[in-house]
Amino acid sequence: MWVVSESAAASHIVENTVQRLLLAAPRGYCAGVHRAVHAVERALEIHGPPVYVRKEIVHNKTVVAQLRRQGAIFVEEETDIPQGAITVFSAHGIAPSVRANAQTLQLRTIDATCPLVTKVHREALHFARDGYTIVLIGHEGHEEVEGTMGEAPDRIVLVQTEQDVEELVVEDPERLAYVTQTTLSVEETSAILARLKQRFPSIVGPRTDDICYATTNRQAAVKELASKCELLLVIGSRNSSNSVRLVEVARDFGAESYLIDNKDEVREEWLTGKRVVGISSGASAPESLVEDLVEFFRDRGVDDVSTLRTVREDVRFMLPKEIREAVPAGTS
């Protein structure tokens, strides 16, 4: 099939070579993201706009834009919020200092922190109270890392690479523990952790893995998909750690791969000569974006669309207590 493609320079005719789409499963929203987004939507329904959200509720441009249209106001810091306002904390978690500031401002808060992130916070606190120095494996500047480090700033050190481990100096190597950011690459984290255990044989960690089930499952699905397609498109925003990791995993396993926010970012040169295209999406990307991308290819004449499922997910999280117990405005 021949397709007309317009560029800024000129219109030209290109041949569509794509014959088949393979969709990764699982993909898209995880339980924590669904909970956080629904918490903002319910807060708007119950209290009416505006509802303030500290940081992006989840790292996805489309989701943030949709909630903004419904009346959510996104701010960088809790100190930017009017006193007494309805405020939602994002899925990535917050430091205790943020909670203290919110109390001082008398904000009516709804904590949408993912329960799996809360688990990491509790682990860090537990280790700190027991006198351990805590190594946090994560990415500097990520909101989840900032929140976790805020639990015990004097006891936590951040490592991002194996080289960081080589250069790590701690007060007492016999009292060392580790926790991890939940959205990391499984392989990269395993390599860093292996080096930590080599350098510090007495290091202890959490009883269960900190990398969340959704991150692990989506990476496993992409690994399987990478061997079966020539191009793998991952839907997700640039500041979404787990989405970026999916692209890295796809490339590590031999597939040409790109991160896109939506179908409009697909570049014609990526498709040239490609016959099988894989599609996945990060844990904060809504399924509607996948559907739009599939439709983009259907419009080009691709009608062979199938799903490659590696594992089934049935994880669900309850909405925050502040939402479950809220009384809608105007009722008594």
Catalytically active residues, by annotation: 144
CA 17 – CA 275 distance, rounded (Å): 5
Identify whether the C-beta of residue 148 lies closer than 8 Å to the C-beta of residue 208. Answer: no
Q: Dihedral (C-alpha) 110, 116, 118, 124: value to the nearest 10 degrees?
A: -170
99-126 burial string, b = 16+ CB within 10 Å, else e?
bebbeebebbbbbbbbebbebbbebbbb
Please tell me whether residue 305 adopts helix, strand or coil conformation: strand
Helix (H) or strand (E) segment spanning residue 33: helix 31-47
Q: Within 200-240, where are the H helices?
A: 213-226
- Residue whose entry in the numeric block shows the structure tokens 């939507």: 41
Peptide linkage before 82 cis (omega within 30 of 0):
no
What are φ and ψ of residue 161, in 5° steps? -140, 170
Distance CA 277, CA 42 (A): 37
DSSP of 275-304: -EEEEEE-TTS-HHHHHHHHHHHHTTT--E
Describe the strand order of the beta sheet including 256-260 as a list of residue ranges: 256-260, 231-235, 276-281, 20-25, 304-309
Residue pair 10/266 in contact by the 8 Å Cβ criterion: no
Between the two ends of the chain, the Cα-to-Cα distance in Å is 63
- Residue 314's nearest CA partner among 187, 218, 213 is 213
**Residue 92 carries which side chain, given as an amino acid letter?**
H
